Amino acid sequence: MSAIVTPSARPLSLTGKRIDWAGLGFLAAILLCLLACFAFLATLLAQVFTDGWGTLADRGSDFLTADLSNSPSRAGVAQAIKGSLLLAGFVAIAAFPLGIATAVYLEEYARDTRFSRLVRLNIRNLAGVPSVVYGLLGLSVFVKLLGTDMADGKGLTGGRSLLSGGLTLSVLVLPIVIITASESIRAVPSILREGAFGLGATQWEVVRTVVLPNAFAGILTGAVLSLSRALGETAPLILTGAFLGTFFRTPNQSFADTLRGDYTALPMVIFNWAGEAKSSFKLELAPAAIIVLLAITLLCNAAAVLLRARYERDA
C-alpha cells in the first residue's frame, strides 16, 4: 500500500509554493515580540540594579537586618523578609497538601464524568483569574466574615492580619498547584500502574509507591514555582491588610498573636517606598528592596530546578 500523504507533508514544489511567506512572517512577528519583551525587561533590570546596588554595597548586611524606619539611613527590610517568609511557610502548609491531594483524587480516583470535567475546567479557569480578584475574595471572607465574629473583635483570622494574607495567597496558588500536580501525575506511564496492579497492589498502594514517587519531581517543581509567585504578589496583600509604613514589634508576642497581628512583606515595602516623597526611599531603597525580592525569587526557582534534577536522576 502506498503511504497517505497529508497536505502538510507535501513538498512545496508540488503545491506550487516555494516559500511559505505567511509562516515566515508569523515566526518573525513572534521573534520580534520576544525580543521587545526581553529588551524592556533588560532595561528595567539594568535600571533597578544601577539604582539599588549602591545601597546594598554601602550598607551591606545592615540593610537586610534593620527594621523599617522613617529615616532612609536606618531603614531596612528585616521585618519585610520575615513577613514574606511567614507567608511562604503558611502557603506551603495550607496550599500544597490540599492541592496535591486534590490532584491525586482527580487523576487516580475520580471517574470521568460531567461533574469531574466541570471541576477540572473551573480549576483551569481559576488559575487565570487576576490576583486582585483573590484579594477581594480575601477581604470579603477572611478579613470581614471570619475576622469579626468573636468576643475580642478579632474573630478567627484577626481581620487584617498575617493569617488573612496567608489564606488569601494559599487560595491564589491552589489552582496552580493542582494543575501542575495533575500534569505530573498524568505523565506517569500507565504501564507502571498496570504492573503494580498485576502484582496485587491496591489503589492506594499504587498511588503511594508508584505514582507519587515518579511524579514527585514535577509536583515539587510546580509547588516551588507557585510559592515564588506568591512571594511577589502585592494586590492581595494590600486588600488583606499588609501594613504600609513603619510598625514596631510587640515584645513577648505569642505565635498565635503573630498570626493574628500586623504584618508586612517585601512587595508591600517596595510599594510603599516607591510612593514616598523622600527621594532616598524612591530612588535608592526601593530598588535595593527589589533586588532582595528578585534574589529570593531566583533562589526559589533555582531550588526547584536543582531538586527536580536530583529526583529525576534518582528515579
182-to-97, 110, 176 alpha-carbon distances in Å: 13, 12, 10
Q: What local confidence, expressed as pLDDT, does residue 153 receive?
A: 58
Say if 8 falls within a structural domain: no
CB 284 within 8 A of CB 51: yes
Q: Report the chain's mean pLDDT, rounded to a whole number.
A: 83
Say if 239 falls within a structural domain: yes
- Give the ranges where 60-77 is alpha helix by DSSP (H): 61-65
Given a cut of 70, is residue 10 above it in pLDDT?
Answer: no
Of 59, 86, 109, which one is at a domain's C-terminal end?
Answer: 59
Say if 72 falls within a structural domain: yes
Average the pLDDT over each of 113-117, 121-125, 131-135, 234-238 and give the range with the smallest value. Answer: 234-238
Over residues 267-291, the pLDDT tens digits come to: 888 888 888 878 888 888 889 999 9
Domain count, the chain: 2
216 against 247, higher pLDDT: 216
Q: Is 81 left (phi over 0), alpha (psi -120 to 50) or beta?
A: alpha
Domain match, 83 and 23 both = no
Residue with cell 497538601: 97
Over residues 11-67, the pLDDT tens digits come to: 555 555 577 788 888 999 999 999 999 999 999 999 999 988 888 888 888 888 888
Residue 118 belongs to what domain range?
A: 60-314
CATH number of the domain residue 113 falls in: 1.10.3720.10
Domain match, 52 and 64 both = no
Q: What local confidence, expressed as pLDDT, does residue 177 receive?
A: 93
Say if 14 falls within a structural domain: no
Please give the share of the chain, as a percent, with pLDDT higher than 90.
24
Given a cut of 90, is residue 233 above it in pLDDT?
Answer: no
Q: What local confidence, expressed as pLDDT, does residue 308 receive?
A: 75
Cα 20 → chain centroid: 40
